[in-house]
Amino acid sequence: MDGFDLSGRVAVVTGGASGIGKAISTRLAANGAQVWVLDINADAANATAEEIKQASRQAWALPCDVADPESVTQVFTTIASAGSIDILVNCAGISHIGTIETTSLADFERIFRVNAQGIFLCMQAAILTMVKQSHGVILNISSMAAIVGIPERFAYSMSKAAVRSMTLSVAKDYLDKNIRCNCISPARVHTPFVDGYLKRNYPGREAEMLAVLEKTQPIGRMSKPEEVAGLAVYLCSDLASFLTGADVPFDGGLLNLRD
């Protein structure tokens, strides 16, 4: 189990105050990492960091809008001035439902700014420190929507495919800098976003529609954020030191076991 020990390592998690990001922040801290929780919701970031501290682990919170270059530069400058950046996990992201016909230019640009540009800016900022210290691990959260066709996810799929491609490029370009870069492509994960979506669009039918969404994974259910976090810890640990440039499907059989 020593390979999972992240003691002494500094991890930065964007979107770290809710859903998958919160689960990863908590799990990295539980494995010994000192975690910077970044989120556009400052109160939620502070609450998550406080939860981690109450578990006798180290965490700090900073508000960050990953789509805003100035915000990203300021936040990563602050973190770098305090020490190393050993791990960067890019979880911040937003969703959109619509076909190409129902997706406006404003929708398209908004999804791109957060999901693709945001990861570009955060990786670019963290790479500066990782190159200087001659090591680092970057983990991006992509999606099965980047790999398989999913109805009414036009803009979202575009953005997650960009994440996948950027992951491969960074992994290739920094092989000789001792910087690894991978991504996880989950299928549906049961987060507060899913519950909110069902409540808004199917009032009174939430349980029925949740069952429908669960059955889209061949395994018969959605993943839990904590399960994604377990994979994230592995990919950020020394046990995965041979792995870079990988897109790891976490899909309940969706990619290979569909009817």
Q: What is the 3-state secondary structure (H, E, C) of 5-25?
A: CCCCCEEEEECCCCHHHHHHH
Asked whether residue 259 is domain-assigned, the answer is no
Range of the domain at 165: 2-187+225-249
In a domain, 256, yes or no: no
Question: Quick one: 76 and 202 in the same domain?
Answer: no
Mean pLDDT computed over every residue of the chain: 96
Are 115 and 36 in a shared domain?
A: yes
Q: Residue 257: exposed, middle, or buried by beta-carbon count in 10 A (0-12, 13-18, 19+)? A: exposed
Place of tokens 């959605």: 222
Residues 103 and 118 in one domain: yes
Distance of CA 244 to the CA centre of its chain: 16
Q: Which of 156, 174, 197, 234 is catalytic?
A: 156
| Chain mean position to CA 26 | 13
d(CA 66, CA 121): 7
Q: Look at residues 162, 168, 137, 193 and name the one whose alpha carbon lies nearest to residue 248.
A: 168
Question: How many independent structural domains does the chain possess?
Answer: 2
Query: How big, in percent rounded to 5, are the helix, strand and coil portions of the chain?
Result: 50, 15, 35
Helix (H/G/I), strand (E/B), else coil: 182: strand
- Asked if 91 and 200 sit in the same domain, the reply is no
Instruction: Check residue 155 and give its pLDDT.
Output: 98
Q: Where residue 188 falls among pLDDT bands split at 50, 70, 90?
A: very high
255, part of any domain = no
Any idea which of 7-11, 19-23, 212-216 has the lowest mean pLDDT?
A: 212-216
Per-residue pLDDT tens over the stretch 205-248: 999 999 999 999 999 999 999 999 999 999 999 999 999 999 99
Residues 179/137, Cβ–Cβ less than 8 Å: yes
Residues 196 and 92 in one domain: no
Distance, in Å, from the CA atom of 186 to the CA atom of 188, rounded to the nearest integer, reads: 6
Residue 196 and residue 143 share a domain:
no
Q: Are 44 and 20 in contact (CB under 8 A)?
A: no
CATH number at residue 33: 3.40.50.720
pTM of the model: 0.97
Beta carbons of 39 and 64 less than 8 angstroms apart: yes
Q: What is the mean pLDDT of residues 136-146?
A: 98
186 close to 247: Cβ distance less than 8 angstroms: no
pLDDT of residue 18: 96
For 32-88, write each residue's pLDDT tens digit.
Answer: 999 999 999 999 999 999 999 999 999 999 999 999 999 999 999 999 999 999 999
The residue ranges of DSSP E strands in the chain, in sequence order, are 10-14, 34-39, 59-63, 87-90, 136-141, 179-186, 247-250
Question: Of all helices (H) and strands (E), which one includes residue 47?
Answer: helix 42-54
For the chain, counts of helices (H) and of strands (E): 9, 7
At 134, the pLDDT band (50, 70, 90 cuts) reads very high
Selection from 99, 219, 91 nearest residue 151 by Cα: 99
Q: What percent of the chain has pLDDT over 70?
A: 100
Cα–Cα separations (whole angstroms), residue 236 to 177, 227, 233 = 16, 15, 5
When pLDDT is averaged across residues 160-189 and rounded to a whole number, the result is 98
Report the first-to-last Cα separation within the chain, whole angstroms. 38
Whether 102 and 216 map to the same domain: the answer is no
CA distance 253 to 259: 10
Same domain, 217 and 172: no
State yes or no: pLDDT of 259 exceeds 90: no
Nearest partner of 113 among 164, 66, 183, judged by Cα: 66
- Is residue 187 over pLDDT 70? yes
Q: Is 156 a catalytic residue?
A: yes
